Each structure stands twice: as structure tokens, then as C-alpha cells.
Amino acid sequence: MAQVWILILWHFLNFAQAVDLYQKPSFILAKLGETVTFHCTFAKKHSAESMVWYKQPGAQILQNIVVQSPLMEAIISSEYNKSHLKLERTKTNISFSILHAAKDDGGLYFCGVVVMKTTEFSTGTFLAVFI
């Protein structure tokens, strides 16, 4: 099963390089209750595209957190508390913040760009929350 996930992740990472998505750092260690911000930079040619944030908790499937097109307000998944999240977008950046990080916020976070109904992902950032 792990081999399948590695293959899927490798596939997404190769797409991320093709669309110029940059997500740094690759690892964040946060204290319980802190605000954590993920940054994603993308090529200006994608400024008219929808951007997304996903979370992969542990070895589970990706969970959609938010989608935002440049002309509409962000649509936050019903599984997430809107007052717990903050999203900012410019022509070449999208930032996603978790306000008051909780233990269950830990996991791997990906930004992505939706190009012709296909989502292409960044390399991701792993968040670990400690007490």
C-alpha cells in the first residue's frame, strides 16, 4: 500500500514542477495554540486560475480545505471551522493560516492550481503540532 502512495505522491510532485508552484518550508513545527501560515508561490500565468489547499492527515486520503478563484470568495470545506482559518491571495501568492493550531491540525498540506479541470500540486509542507 505504501508503494501506491509513493507513486501517487511522485506523480503529483512532477506536476507541481511543471506548473511552477513553490511551497516552502517543507516542515513546520508549531506549538499548540500558535498561528501557522503556509505560503505558496505560483507563476503569474496562473493568476486567473483557481487555487486550492488540501490536507493529508497521516496515511489517509487528501481532504479539500479551501478553493479560491480570483473573482470569487474562498469556499471553505464544511469540515473546517471558518473562524479557525485565514486565506490571503495576490497575483502570484496564496497563503493559508491556521489560527490557534490544534494537535489534529498536524499533517501534510498541499497547495494546488486547477488547470483545465486538473489539479496540479506543490511539494507540500508537513505540520507537526506539539504541546
Mean of the per-residue pLDDT values of the chain:
87
How far is the C-alpha of 107 from the C-alpha of 40, rounded, in Å? Answer: 17
- Which residue shows C-alpha cell 486560475? 49
Q: What does the pLDDT look like over 55-85, one tens digit per residue? A: 999 889 999 999 999 888 999 999 998 889 9
Strand partners, 27: 126
> Which whole-number Å values give the CA distances from 76 to 19, 31, 33, 73, 87, in the listed order?
24, 24, 21, 9, 10
Res. 18: pLDDT tops 70:
no
- Which residue shows C-alpha cell 503556509? 38
- Stated pTM of the model: 0.82
User: Which band of pLDDT confidence, cut at 50, 70 and 90, is reported for residue 16?
Assistant: very low
* Domains within the chain, CATH numbers bracketed: 2-130 (2.60.40.10)
> Which stretch of 5-9, 49-53, 85-89, 120-124 has the lowest confidence by average pLDDT?
5-9
